Structure 1
Amino acid sequence: MNPSNSIKNWAEDERPREKMLQKGAAALTDAELLAILISSGTKEKSALDLAREILAQAHNHLHELGRLGILELKKTKGIGEARAITIAAALELGRRRQLSEGIQRATISSSKEAAEIITPLLQDLNHEAFCVIYLNHANRLIRQEIVSSGGLTGTVADIRLILKNALLQNASQVIVAHNHPSGNLQPSTADKELTRKLKEAASVMDIKLLDHLIISPAGFFSFSDNGLI
């Protein structure tokens, strides 16, 4: 790397770390924040150059960056296992913060609020997964969990397992959700049939199915909002 391109030779207010100290994290670009995680560059490239390459791999979209695994991050020359793990750990902390903010909500009163809680669990997955939110009679969140995972185009949800867990949690209401990694928000025939069967089985146990959400990078689809429950 040309010494003049080394971050340590830049003006102090242009270096990511110093810029963050002087102006705060919000003043930094995505690439500059990522460069701080990378810490140092290689002989050929600065940490900021490496950060820009990783972001380009993610189409300069933080949502896509969050879906990159350690092996994918290591495809950028100069990003070894240690740096890839550091980046992945930071992304996971961000995901957990988003998840914890949703969990702190006392009650769920709309599909939007339910989606805000479930999305952090599902949005970065490259395969389909099925999630359940368990609620008491007052719509207060008891627990949320992923109950099954599948392939790129589908997952199988065990209705008996969902209702068994609902009884164990003393839940009187549930909201279910699954993701469509393809980005398509439209429910399939299988999605509609599963919803119908789950609603019928739940009613026998005096458990109410409030909604079924489909989550994708494009947003979410609510069965309830669209009159399908």
Structure 2
Amino acid sequence: MVITDWALEDRPREKMLLKGIRSLSNAELIAILIGSGNRRETAVELSQRILNNMGNSLNRLGKVSVQDLTGQFEGIGEAKAISIIAALELGRRRKSEDVLTRRKITCSRDVYDLMYASMVDLPQEEFWIVLLNAANTVLDIIRISQGGTAATLVDVKLVLKPAILQQASSIMLCHNHPSNNATPSQADYELTAKIVSAASFLDIRVLDHLIICESGYYSFADEGRL
């Protein structure tokens, strides 16, 4: 049975028009993106199988590549795979934009929420800084470096230069661990101490350093390690 044989209210596009977008399941939303299935599955059935393969996690689906999708699922070509990945990226950017409307930082969780969408799905380690004014309002968010799966090199001068140029009163340091293990390494401790020391000579406070993972985060400030 193909989708055109279904009752009108059960077809994803028609169901959305009749009942609203929130009435659709994740599989039905993905089915709208891909448009058609394969010889054995409707678009909805194929979409549900893709989700099942990802443990029904949109976060996991958001991490796959075009090659992952085209190689594993019959009926998913390059164009359909790109549509799925692009839609999930739009969702991630929307979440990041929503968080940016709440620009005052009051605790480590605020920074985690601010940076989560930009950092949690990265396959490589990256180092970012959040610049704050005297009222702890975000001035800017800047990526300092990008490395491999286990480390990234950070030049202290590049960390402090934008803080000086934008006259930031304080900064927050952030980097991710693609392994999803938020435990700091010895190198993380040493880098943090080095940046804190250099920033103090410029009267710039380092308020925190967060290691960001999908399952949570480690805050140097919360753990008394600054």
TM-score under structure 2 length normalisation: 0.94
Q: Which residue of 1 aligns with 2:119?
A: 122
Q: Does 1:113 align with 2:104?
A: no
- 1:13 aligned to 5, 9, 13, which one? 9
Deviation (angstroms), 1:10: 1.0
Percent same amino acid among aligned pairs?
45
Distance 1:29 1:220 in 2: 30
Task: Specify the code of the residue in structure 2 equivalent to 1:119.
Answer: Y
Q: Which residue of 2 aligns with 1:157?
A: 154
Deviation (angstroms), 1:188: 1.2
Q: Which residue of 1 aligns with 2:48?
A: 52
Deviation (angstroms), 1:124: 0.9
**5+ long unaligned stretches in structure 1:** none
TM-score under structure 1 length normalisation: 0.93
Q: Does 1:74 align with 2:70?
A: yes
Q: Which residue of 1 aligns with 2:22?
A: 26
- What SS does the aligned partner of 1:146 have? strand
- What SS does the aligned partner of 2:105 have? coil
The number of equivalent residue pairs is 225
Task: Specify the code of the residue in structure 1 equivalent to 2:225.
Answer: L
- 1:205 aligned to 202, 207, 210, which one? 202
- Runs of 4 or more, structure 1, over 4 Å off, are none
- 1:92 aligned to 85, 89, 92, which one? 89
- 2:134 aligned to 115, 134, 137, which one? 137
Distance 2:88 2:103 in 1: 26
Deviation (angstroms), 1:73: 2.1
Task: Specify the code of the residue in structure 2 equivalent to 1:200.
Answer: S
- What SS does the aligned partner of 2:174 have? strand
Distance 2:61 2:142 in 1: 24
Q: Deviations over 1:96-131 (max 9, x none)?
A: 111111222231111111111111110111111111
Q: Does 1:62 align with 2:62?
A: no
Distance 1:26 1:187 in 2: 40
Contact 2:104 2:137 in 1 (8 A): yes
Q: Which residue of 1 aligns with 2:35?
A: 39
Deviation (angstroms), 1:218: 0.7
Contact 2:13 2:32 in 1 (8 A): yes
Contact 2:182 2:218 in 1 (8 A): yes
Distance 1:165 1:58 in 2: 40
Distance 1:164 1:51 in 2: 47
Deviation (angstroms), 1:65: 0.9
**5+ long unaligned stretches in structure 2:** none
Task: Specify the code of the residue in structure 2 equivalent to 1:80.
Answer: G
Task: Specify the code of the residue in structure 1 equivalent to 2:78.
Answer: E
- 2:165 aligned to 144, 168, 171, which one? 168
Indicate the larger mover: 132-141 or 57-66: 57-66
Distance 2:57 2:49 in 1: 12
